[in-house]
Structure 1
Amino acid sequence: MSALLTIRGLHKRYGERQLFNIDTLTLDAASAYVLTGVNGAGKSTLLRILAGLERGDCDSFEFDGKLLRLHPYPRELRCDIVYVHQHPIMFSTSVAENIGFGLRARGMHGAALAQAVDRAIEWAGMEHARDTDPARLSGGEKQRVALARAKVLRPRVLLLDEPTANLDGPAREQVIALIPTLLEAGTTVVMACHDRDLIGLPGVRRLKLRDGHIEYRPQKGEHDETP
């Protein structure tokens, strides 16, 4: 499997405090990863740096075979790498309008936009709420809308920050069921989480952020230990 993203010597400091200093982080194409670690280890910060939402420094950054800068963040990567917050912000319009927001910002309109939104709504199982104000949705429904809003952009890397946190059983199951379909579409997915069901999904690789470094852990079925 070929490497899609490789970053070396990635470091982040807050004043005198060094949050992490990662020797090498490699993400393969069309692969799934869970990023674990104790609270405060820097999981969310790492995802935000990869998405260009927070500054980080590195020795080298390679994406799809091209050497790029991490700062200033390359404009072209904003289409390829998408971040979904644990508590996604929704516009007070409708589910359909929220899902189509990014596509409209990229210049898509008319029938092509409508078809893309329809497919995303169906994928997320949100047909019943197409014209609903997201403020009226449950936590699980908001997360599915956020995933659909990201998926419709067809990112090559999707970064999910605690996608099942604070969701009840049925809502968690609905969100978890969407993850394998993202991989089938060729997207690399990185999930910062502690959810054992996500960690245990077939083929998911494990990354643990501990003491400022990334540890690669065995996949399910291999010799393992508690995350």
Structure 2
Amino acid sequence: MRKRHGERLLFEIERLDIAAASAYVLTGVNGAGKSTLLRMLAGLERCDACRIVFEGRSMPLHPYPAALRRAIGFVHQHPIMFSTSVAHNIAYGLLARGERRQAVAPAVEEAMRWAGVAHLRDTHPARLSGGEKQRVALARARVLQPRLLLLDEPTANLDGPAREQVIALIPTLLERGGSVVMACHDRDLIGLPGIQRLKLREGRLEVR
């Protein structure tokens, strides 16, 4: 997996193994390419000559495979919300997949309870705090039951209580057998039990 910015080689990764029901933190100095790597895995940034093995099948990352669109979720550092309600934002992905509304409603309710935002179900996203938006974004991704969830700086710019609420949700993302990779600098996230560490250093990926 290789990425260039003009003539500059940002990184060249020979191999990245992600196990089922496992959590990883991706660290590195600013500009090392952490967010870029997550965006490439999510199909949000082009990855030339990159291949991935998923469920025993080798496939290119460009054009991005449909199987990975259903299997991989991405939560941005600054989540974008639709100008509707919290409940509709969480339901959107399921409705876009064509799921029946009768099945969507209980799934959304469960996701809101999990994220601690059920009391905000009818709230316009513009009225949410940063921590509330991040928890809604996590619920919106989790309700799709991705095999792999990519989180870009999930606690950045959050105050103490909001940060602690988000950190508390991270271990529970593994309960359904999915995996999580988080780009972050947060020492408390890095120090969570069972978290494996990946580090981008000078264009190479180190497994710790």
TM superposition score normalised by structure 1: 0.90
What's 1:88 paired with? 79
Q: What's the CA shift string for 1:136-158, capped at 9, x where partnerless?
A: 00000000000000000000000
* 1:160 paired to 2:151: yes
> Which letter does structure 1 place at the counterpart of 2:48?
D
> Which letter does structure 1 place at the counterpart of 2:151?
L
What's 1:191 paired with? 182
Kindly report structure 1 stretches of 4+ aligned residues shifted beyond 6 Å: none
Q: 1:107 pairs with 98, 106, 115, which one?
A: 98
Q: How many residues matched?
A: 208
CA distance in structure 2 between the partners assigned to 1:94 and 1:184 by the alignment? 27
In the alignment, is the contact (CA less than 8 A) between 2:50 and 2:60 conserved in 1?
A: no
What's 1:123 paired with? 114
Displacement, 1:66? 0.9
What's 1:148 paired with? 139
Find the residue that maps to 2:18 and give its secondary structure: strand
> Which letter does structure 2 place at the counterpart of 1:83?
F
CA distance in structure 1 between the partners assigned to 2:98 and 2:50 by the alignment? 35
The unaligned stretches of length 5 or more in structure 2 are none
More strand by share: 1
Displacement, 1:175? 0.5
Find the residue that maps to 1:122 and give its secondary structure: helix
CA RMSD of aligned residues (A): 0.9
> Which letter does structure 2 place at the counterpart of 1:122?
R
TM superposition score normalised by structure 2: 0.98
Displacement, 1:57? 2.7
* 1:77 paired to 2:71: no
Q: What's the CA shift string for 1:48-89, capped at 9, x where partnerless?
A: 000011011345421121111111110111000011100010
Displacement, 1:111? 1.6
* 1:24 paired to 2:12: no
In the alignment, is the contact (CA less than 8 A) between 2:90 and 2:140 conserved in 1?
A: yes
The unaligned stretches of length 5 or more in structure 1 are 1-9, 218-227
- % identity of equivalent residues: 72
CA distance in structure 2 between the partners assigned to 1:59 and 1:181 by the alignment? 31
Q: Greater relative contact order: 1 or 2 (C-alpha under 8 angstroms, separation 6 or more)?
A: 2
